[in-house]
């Protein structure tokens, strides 16, 4: 059992009033709050250990380097990567996905005849460069791939979903036969809460020899992740959505893929030998970590992982499911409510609109009652287009939320709906 009071005591930010009302923070899919241990770890680093890593022989530099590499091992263990060198620290999911889209583009350009070349030989890249995503992607897992394929007159293939927000796996299989070079899919939709059957989707793509990227931004805080069991080729995530500081996140990649992909950014640390004529690159994971990293935040991420590991993760899942089910059940009583995302396998959040009421107006009114939710398209405009709506109100839960907060939230929505009708 989770001791929610004890947990909440570790999140001082929750203990405040907004507009004279106790804060009810239900915007956890955007970012989670940080426990004291994480804040203190980062502070402690700057108080006692701050130093640039990997480059110094002196005590502090070695200490900071050791701590940073220890954090990498902790991340590797947390998601069950085979080796620490399969973990690349990035700023978060968005940067990880941009890294992959760029590196894959360069890999394809070096593998196929480049359409950018002045050579008159016909390009084979144009017809071959397809990337497969799903209809429920966050812009971060859509725009980098879209821009990449468009630079080469390639094509973005999109797996459709049904009215409940469930992917059509028959269509997925058909699209795999069209020969995409990469599949990149959300583990959990940040709008619909759908948990996609990623393990099955990875196995299907592998039957066609296609590598799979999983966008784990919305899953890693809520469910144990085992990248070896999923057999995904890449898994990306953001620290700030899992109780860690902002500005840190990760990219897991199977070593054989990371070895094959060219570097993303160039500069210090990612090189082996440099001359004016030629540069050779460092080994994994440093090949992908150009420049000075966010060491303090990486240590904060390690502490956030330790914080999660100190809890019974099954109990966390059960608690969050209970909050979600209670919210759905209570919201269902509201006349004219339409849930966006009704998959059987879902997690963490509920999205809805109410007939005749703009989500923004509803969000603004319940904010004045102390309730923080997100309104709008949630960086997933194609999802809004699919459902023919301007946006949704989204309440997303974390381990520190309580049943009382669900009650306050639903009451606030009911009151706002009455005021706006």
Q: Which residues are catalytic?
A: 379
Pick between residue 189 and residue 282 the one whose CB is nearest to ligand PLP: 189
Torsion angle (degrees, nearest 10) of CA 389, 393, 394, 400: 180
Beta strands at 392-396 and 374-376: parallel, antiparallel or unpaired = antiparallel
Residue with tokens 């999923």: 230
Cis bond before residue 285 (omega within 30° of 0): yes
Pick between residue 202 and residue 213 the one whose CB is nearest to ligand PLP: 213
Pick between residue 158 and residue 271 the one whose CB is nearest to ligand PLP: 158
Pick between residue 238 and residue 282 the one whose CB is nearest to ligand PLP: 238
- Residue 65, token pair as written in the block: 């380097």
392 binds ligand PLP (CB under 6 A): no
In the bound complex, what is the minimum distance in angstroms from residue 28's beta carbon to ligand PLP?
Answer: 10
Distance between CA atoms of 224 and 220, rounded to whole angstroms?
A: 7
CA 148 to each of CA 26, 175, 292, 385, 406: distance values in angstroms, whole numbers, following the listed order: 35, 19, 27, 23, 42
| Angle (deg, nearest 10), helices 403-420 and 313-331 | 30
Task: Give phi and psi for 39, each to the nearest 5.
Answer: -60, -45
Binding to ligand PLP (CB under 6 A) within 67-126 occurs at 92-94
DSSP 152: T
Candidates 126-134, 135-143, 356-364, 405-413 — which segment interacts with ligand PLP by CB under 6 A?
A: 135-143
Pick between residue 32 and residue 74 the one whose CB is nearest to ligand PLP: 32
CB-CB contact of 188 with 159 (8 Å): no
218 binds ligand PLP (CB under 6 A): yes
In the bound complex, what is the minimum distance in angstroms from residue 190's beta carbon to ligand PLP?
Answer: 3
Binding to ligand PLP (CB under 6 A) within 219-238 occurs at 238
The residue within the footprint of ligand PLP, chosen from 190, 194, 196, 282 (CB under 6 A), is 190
401 binds ligand PLP (CB under 6 A): no
Q: How many other C-beta atoms can be found within 10 angstroms of the C-beta atom of residue 4?
A: 15
282 binds ligand PLP (CB under 6 A): no
215 binds ligand PLP (CB under 6 A): yes
Which residues of the chain form contacts with ligand PLP (CB under 6 A)? 92-94, 138, 140-141, 186, 190, 215, 217-218, 238
């Amino acid at each position: 059992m989770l001791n929610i009071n004890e947990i909440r005591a570790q999140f001082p930010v929750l203990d405040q009033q907004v507009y004279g009302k106790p804060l009810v923070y239900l915007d956890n899919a955007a970012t989670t709050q940080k426990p004291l241990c994480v804040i203190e770890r980062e502070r402690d680093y700057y108080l006692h250990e701050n130093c640039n890593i990997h480059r110094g022989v002196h005590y502090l530099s070695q200490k900071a380097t050791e701590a940073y590499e220890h954090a990498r091992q902790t991340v590797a263990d947390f998601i069950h990567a085979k080796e620490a060198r399969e973990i690349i620290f990035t700023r978060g999911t968005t940067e990880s996905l941009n890294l992959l889209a760029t590196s894959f583009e360069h890999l394809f350009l070096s593998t196929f005849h480049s359409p950018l070349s002045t050579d008159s030989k016909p390009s084979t890249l144009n017809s071959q460069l397809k990337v497969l995503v799903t209809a429920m992607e966050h812009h971060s897992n859509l725009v980098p791939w879209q821009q990449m394929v468009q630079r080469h007159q390639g094509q973005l293939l999109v797996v459709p979903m049904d009215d409940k927000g469930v992917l059509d796996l028959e269509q997925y299989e058909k699209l795999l036969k069209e020969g995409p070079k990469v599949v990149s899919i959300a583990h959990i939709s940040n709008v619909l809460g759908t948990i996609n059957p990623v393990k099955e989707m990875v196995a299907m793509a592998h039957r066609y020899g296609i590598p799979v990227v999983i966008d784990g931004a919305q899953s890693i805080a809520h469910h144990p992740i085992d990248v070896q069991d999923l057999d995904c080729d890449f898994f990306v995530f953001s620290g700030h959505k899992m109780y860690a500081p902002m500005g840190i996140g990760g990219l897991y990649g199977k070593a054989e893929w990371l070895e094959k992909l060219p570097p993303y950014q160039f500069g210090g640390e990612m090189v082996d030998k440099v001359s004016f004529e030629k540069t050779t690159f460092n080994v994994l994971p440093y090949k992908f970590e150009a420049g000075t990293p966010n060491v303090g935040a990486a240590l904060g991420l390690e502490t956030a992982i330790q914080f999660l590991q100190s809890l019974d993760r099954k109990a966390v899942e059960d608690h969050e499911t209970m909050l979600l089910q209670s919210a759905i059940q209570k919201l269902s009583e509201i006349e004219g409510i339409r849930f966006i995302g009704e998959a059987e396998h879902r997690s963490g959040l509920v999205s809805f609109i109410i007939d005749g009421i703009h989500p923004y107006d509803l969000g603004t009114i319940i904010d004045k009652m102390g309730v923080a939710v997100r309104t709008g398209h949630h960086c997933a405009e194609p999802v809004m287009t699919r459902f023919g709506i301007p946006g949704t109100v989204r309440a997303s839960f974390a381990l520190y939320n309580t049943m009382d907060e669900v009650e306050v939230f639903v009451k606030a929505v009911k009151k706002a709906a009455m005021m706006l009708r």
